[in-house]
Chains A and B, each alone.
Chain A
């Protein structure tokens, strides 16, 4: 039985919006030109590839269902209250079981000593062996050999997958135009190679983590790699959902203030100056605090833990959106004020076009580049902000998987000797990869869309 939580629905809206934009771009020649600049650039192509991998993971994590279980007593099937996602099913061999406590990456033992009864009177303090992973080498008894062999096998697997994909592409283009194939292949060699590397990393990580805890386990013995992968959805959701929430406000108010002007302009300007003047962390903090009070006092409104955590995530996105629309609104207001005076808008006014159709036909297409640049720029900032907010306890629900929560939990173990570094490491690396490619992407997008960019230096 499929379950749709509110953030899932909104995430699907994001995906649909994304696809309809792609469809729209394909039909509009000059937009197609701009975007092909992004694809031609190596950093652009690479970051799109990486980001779409992340998006696919987030999407898999958003398709959820309740599991069917057979009840022995009642002799019928029923649904568990546990909700699992498609990603959970794919990663089942990784997160099925959990250990007792910390264990370091690739280790076969727990991280701390335990007292174990060897004989009747003799207690021994040893590092206990891990129960589920780390002691079940598939290919070789020696750990390092086993790891190498696993990676080589994954390499071969990846090679096969890529070879078949290549064949399909080759086969499809073979009948069209031979010249085109060669040029396309030369052009896409870089993309193909990076695709190969990303796939190799994924497959070898998967193969390795069936046998080992690649990034160790956390305090309650959960696989850190699994936690980091689950956190991708939260990061991406905060980055995208917030923009979906804020865009209607920013576009609507920005255009109305700029194009219609007068009294409307004054009011809208007053609203966004007021919101803009409050330091955003404080505004977010106050709003989240109020949400916490509301949730603490009305626990009956939420069916289960998932729904509660999900609703909090949704509200966090809403609040972040409400605090961040002002900047974009200001830019759009300025731009539509400029557009109002431009000849073709004036001409359509004299032809008797209504204000609404001028806005739809002339204003909106001409401010879209600002919208796209802002959305892409904001994404990475929002992902980073999530970690900071979770540290201040005004981020996502503590039960939600997120990099901020991982950092927050691991921070307390910093004083431990020897140090437990892997949960921090994992969260930072995952966050770094996502934000780095989002930043690279936003750079290329800005170059492509910003008319002021000087292409000589970039």
Chain B
């Protein structure tokens, strides 16, 4: 088991290097730092000195890969590639283009993100499974048929509609919770309730359909026929046999996104003014702060890969037939 995990971790390294090279190419080779500086300074009549100063301040003035003006190790270390890309491996995200410490910001902002994403996930999964079991129980009837149609309709509505509509209805017309904002401690609950509800409702359509198809796939299997021919009731087969076996794909589907919860949701957070990583990313995109976007790309990749490894491990824990080698 431990050997397997170590082996997986070794496989991660080339992927991280690949992602690193890709982001590096995207951010520094496609456009030169000078062009980025020109965009940031904005003004048409900027001088070369201003650009130089802006780049100097952020360390973009070094050569890309090889600094021939330095000596010894500095030839490699005093380059953009080393300073901006290699250091990401040490979780040294550096300083954002507006001069803030990115690592500090990330550590501060991941908790509000988690405070929305985690309850949304848990409540969402529970509700979706309930609905899916309900539809599967009434499969091949009008209940199921209408339910699936409603799910498709819910899926077809833009996420922006749920957010805007929810804000308007709950906050503006009914004045139940504040429209947006955030507070620390227990006060946060009144700010978090609406985003969580909206995220859950948004996920109902696709989630219920997905779980329903998992259950239906399971219900076709031979052990279900055996259980039924033993004389077990429909509900006992569904809840004791089908549900338990379908939990395996459900669990692995949940585990893979667990680490990504830290990243939060881009639009929900920015609509509700929650100071999480999602709104952090959006702000960075809108103010064209490339240092933050670069850091988030790297962080997102790591979290995703961690999720994959966790999925593999959770397989062995819940399904004794799976052995990792």
Interface residues, chain A, with chain B CB atoms under 8 Å away: 270-271, 273-275, 277-279, 281-283, 285-287, 289-290, 292-294, 296-297, 380, 384, 387-388, 391-394, 407, 411, 414, 419, 424, 428, 431-432, 435-436, 438-440, 443, 452, 454, 456-457
Contacts and interface: CB of A to CB of B under 8 A. Distances in A.
A282 B156 CA distance: 23
A187 B220 CA distance: 32
A270 B39 contact: no
Given A388-B159, A440-B152, A293 B168 contact: no
Given A286-B26, A286-B297, A454 B220 contact: yes
A311 to B, nearest CB: 16
Interface string B235-266: 00000000000000000000000001001001
A431 B30 CA distance: 34
Contacts of B160: 387-388, 391, 407, 428
A394 B285 contact: yes
Contact of A277 (B157, B282, B296, B304): B304
Interface stretch (B101-109, B118-126, B222-230, B286-294): B286-294
A296 B281 CA distance: 22
B100 interface: no
B27 interface: yes
6 contacts: A277-B305, A289-B285, A392-B282, A407-B158, A452-B217, A456-B140
Interface residues of B, number: 50
A279 B260 contact: yes
B206 to A, nearest CB: 10
B155 to A, nearest CB: 6
Given A277-B305, A393-B286, A414 B168 contact: yes
A297 B44 CA distance: 11
A283 B301 CA distance: 10
Nearest to A419: B168
Contacts of A290: 26-27, 30-31
B152 A392 contact: no
Contacts of A283: 297
Contacts of A292: 39, 288
Contacts of A456: 140
B266 A392 contact: yes
A48 to B, nearest CB: 16
Contacts of B168: 414, 419
Given A293-B39, A393-B286, A436-B156, 20 more contacts: A270-B18, A275-B22, A278-B19, A286-B23, A286-B293, A287-B26, A290-B26, A290-B27, A290-B30, A292-B39, A294-B30, A297-B31, A387-B160, A411-B164, A414-B168, A428-B160, A432-B161, A435-B155, A438-B156, A439-B156
A387 B158 contact: yes
A426 to B, nearest CB: 12
A231 to B, nearest CB: 13
B177 interface: no
A399 B161 CA distance: 22
Contacts of B157: 428, 432, 435
Nearest to A410: B164
Contacts of B300: 278-279, 282
A165 to B, nearest CB: 29
List the 3 closest A-B pairs by CB distance, nearest first.
A274-B18, A436-B156, A279-B300
B267 interface: yes
A387 B157 CA distance: 11
B290 A289 contact: yes
A282 B216 contact: no
Contact of B140 (A277, A387, A407, A457): A457
B219 to A, nearest CB: 9
A289 B288 contact: yes
Contact of B263 (A279, A393, A439): A279
Contact of B158 (A273, A431, A457): A431
A287 B285 CA distance: 11
Contacts of B139: 457
B185 interface: no
A328 B252 CA distance: 21
B135 to A, nearest CB: 10
B158 to A, nearest CB: 5
A275 B305 CA distance: 12
A285 B293 contact: yes
Given A279-B260, A388-B159, A436-B156, A286 B31 contact: no
